[in-house]
Amino acid sequence: KRRGCVHWCAAVFIDLKQAFDKVWHPQLIHKLTPAGTTLVNIIQSYITNRFIRMQFDDQMSSSRTTTAGVPQGGILSPLLFSYFLVDIPVSPTIQLWGYADDLVITSYGAHASAHLQTTLDDLTRWTARNNMQINHERGSTSVAG
């Protein structure tokens, strides 16, 4: 320990791959169920039966129904994405921060790195259950203390 340092602080910066595009509709509806039938029905009508088409140069693809993603530019999309993340497991020794599709997990104290590793293991399992992926190339760590 350096003189004057009371705590170690460690942070992991995480990018979820195509996060807004991968919000899995059935799982989001399941997570919203405790909020009540009326809200679930409104959200379900907002995100289901949507179609996408892609354009490359002057060629347009045929329409396809989506089963994932929140509407790009939609006023409710950031809120729905945040709610989709609500069950990410965190312990009392961890603080989870989010901005758009980026997450930061912080911990402090002598065992900060161990707490972060446990949380990363839990997050990896969470992403598998929720059809999400961590973009390892865009992640980073920081330790101070």
Count other Cβ atoms within 10 Å, centred on residue 57.
5
Determine the Cα–Cα distance for residues 130 and 26; give it in Å rounded to an integer.
10
pLDDT, mean over the chain: 88
Query: Among candidates 50, 16, 51, which has minimal Cα distance to 130?
Result: 16
Can you name the CATH fold of 9-144? Answer: Alpha-Beta Plaits (3.30.70)
* Mean pLDDT score, 27-37: 92
Domain spans, the chain = 9-144
* pLDDT tens digits, 91-110: 888 999 988 888 999 998 88
Residue 142, pLDDT > 90, answer no
CB-based burial label for 63 (10 Å; 0-12, 13-18, 19+): exposed
* pLDDT tens digits, 106-128: 998 888 889 999 999 999 999 99
For every residue of 101-135, which 3-state class applies, written as one string? CEEEEEEECCCHHHHHHHHHHHHHHHHHHCCCCEC
Helix, strand or coil for residue 142? strand
Residue 43, pLDDT > 50, answer yes
Q: What is the pLDDT of residue 9?
A: 86
Token pair in block for residue 13: 């910066």
Q: Tell me the pLDDT band of 18, cut-offs 50, 70 and 90.
A: very high
Q: What is the pLDDT of residue 108?
A: 87
Measured CA distances, 62 to 5, 54, 59 (Å): 60, 8, 10
Q: What is the pLDDT of residue 41?
A: 93
